[in-house]
Amino acid sequence: MKVRAIDIGGAIGAVALLALAPVLGNSGYLTGVLTLCVIYAIWAASWDFMSGLTGRENFGHALFIGAGAYTAGFLATVYFANPWWSLPLSVVVAMAFAVIVGFPTLRLRGPYFALAMLSAAAIMQRLMLIFWEQTGGEEGLYGLEPLINSPLHYYWFVLAVMVVTAAVLMLLARSHWGLILRAIKGDEATCQAAGINVTFYKIASLMISAAFAGLGGALYAHYQLQVSPPLFSVITSITIIIMVYVGGMGSIWGPVLGAILLTLLTEMLRGFGEYRLWIYTLVLMLILFFLPGGLVAPLWRRLTGARS
């Protein structure tokens, strides 16, 4: 699939704006908010790669996020390892979870895969509380070291990781691999009849999705300097799914912008106090009701005259 010059220009412009925003705003608070924005963008893109392309919605994406974050936490508080080791190891651990959970669950059809993944994440959250002596229980693990001491430089680093993540996933989505995943979404039985190893592609896609989710989890852990059981919660997974739907499922870049916009919206509404949640929910309901295909990706296609 050919990439249009206007799409490349839009991506460069968006990244440049994100990179310059903390400098122009000259605000540590803005830097912190934008750091969260790009971390959520990594999680949203990783969810969209597997679930958005194959149609197998994963309600337990928090399992991989928490696995990556707790890997960073254990390395820092138990093994006192160099914090940079947490990035590759979080990827490996998250992929291992994908294999362990994916083999039995991806064979399920209908809503059962989503429910199975949701259950797996809930079980891990409960285990973090049961084995509180090792995991810190409800308080979690504290004392992680920052990867980069400067908040601004760390934001730029996470932004670079987000750009690489989105680029890699988009290249895969536009390749022969992505074509097969979309074919599986359209008619899995026909793909199997054509000799395509559907199970392999689904598990491999889940592993890729988990890898970037785990990486984002480690980045989040070193940003917050602590990890806790709510990372495995259903709220984490549902929040990411909403961001993907708002951005435009199956586009990779749409969920990235959707995550950034919704995270910024959450912060902008803090001034409304107790009405913040009501307003946020109303905005989401309006978007999902009137724009079921998403907001960001369809709007960009319409403005630039692209075909869906």
Residue 137 falls within a domain, yes or no?
yes
Which residue segment(s) compose the domain that 242 sits in?
Answer: 5-302
Which residues, other chains included, contact 242 with Cβ-Cβ below 8 Å and sequence gap of 6+?
A: 262, 284, 288
- Per cent of the chain over pLDDT 70 is 98
Q: Label residue 298 by pLDDT band (50, 70, 90).
A: confident
Residue 83 falls within a domain, yes or no?
yes
Q: How far is it, in rounded angstroms, from Cα 300 to Cα 131?
A: 48
Residue carrying the six token digits 């963008």? 41
- The torsion region of residue 225 among left (phi > 0), alpha (psi -120 to 50) and beta comes to left
What's residue 26's pLDDT?
Answer: 80
Q: How far is it, in rounded angstroms, from Cα 185 to Cα 119?
A: 23
| Coil, strand or helix at 1 | coil
Q: How far is it, in rounded angstroms, from Cα 53 to Cα 284?
A: 23
What's residue 167's pLDDT?
Answer: 95
Q: How far is it, in rounded angstroms, from Cα 274 to Cα 263?
A: 18
What's residue 80's pLDDT?
Answer: 86
Q: What are phi and psi of 127, to 5 degrees?
A: -65, -35
pLDDT at 306 over 70: no
pLDDT at 308 over 70: no
Q: How far is it, in rounded angstroms, from Cα 199 to Cα 104?
A: 11
> What is the DSSP secondary structure assignment for residue 4, as one 8-state letter?
P
With residue 226 as reference, give the H or E element that holds it: strand 226-227
pLDDT at 1 over 60: no
Number of Cβ within 10 Å of residue 20's Cβ equals: 10
Q: Where are the alpha helices (DSSP H) in the chain?
A: 5-25, 28-47, 53-54, 62-77, 86-105, 112-130, 132-135, 151-174, 176-186, 188-193, 198-224, 234-247, 253-268, 276-290, 296-304
Helix-, strand-, coil-residue percentages of the chain, each rounded to 5: 80, 0, 20
Q: What are phi and psi of 226, to 5 degrees?
A: -165, 160
What's residue 307's pLDDT?
Answer: 57
pLDDT at 36 over 60: yes
Reported as a single tens digit per residue, the pLDDT across 131-188 is 998 999 988 999 899 999 999 999 999 999 999 999 999 999 999 999 999 999 988 8
pLDDT at 127 over 90: yes
CB 97 within 8 A of CB 64: yes
pLDDT at 117 over 90: yes
- Number of compact structural domains in the chain: 1
pTM of the model: 0.94
DSSP calls for 104-116: HHTT--TTHHHHH
> Mean pLDDT score of the chain, rounded to an integer?
91
Residue 308 falls within a domain, yes or no?
no
pLDDT at 2 over 70: no
Residue 192 falls within a domain, yes or no?
yes
What's residue 233's pLDDT?
Answer: 94
pLDDT at 196 over 70: yes
Residue 307 falls within a domain, yes or no?
no
CB 52 within 8 A of CB 222: no
What's residue 109's pLDDT?
Answer: 76
CB 149 within 8 A of CB 91: no
Residue 106 falls within a domain, yes or no?
yes
Which residues, other chains included, contact 31 with Cβ-Cβ below 8 Å and sequence gap of 6+?
A: 22, 151, 152, 155
What is the domain-level CATH number for residue 17? 1.10.3470
Task: Go through 246-274 and write b for each residue having 16 or more CB atoms within 10 A of its CB, e for each that does not.
Answer: bbbbbbbbbbbbbbbbbbeebbebeeeee
With residue 103 as reference, give the H or E element that holds it: helix 86-105
Reported as a single tens digit per residue, the pLDDT across 62-93 is 999 999 999 999 999 988 889 999 999 999 99
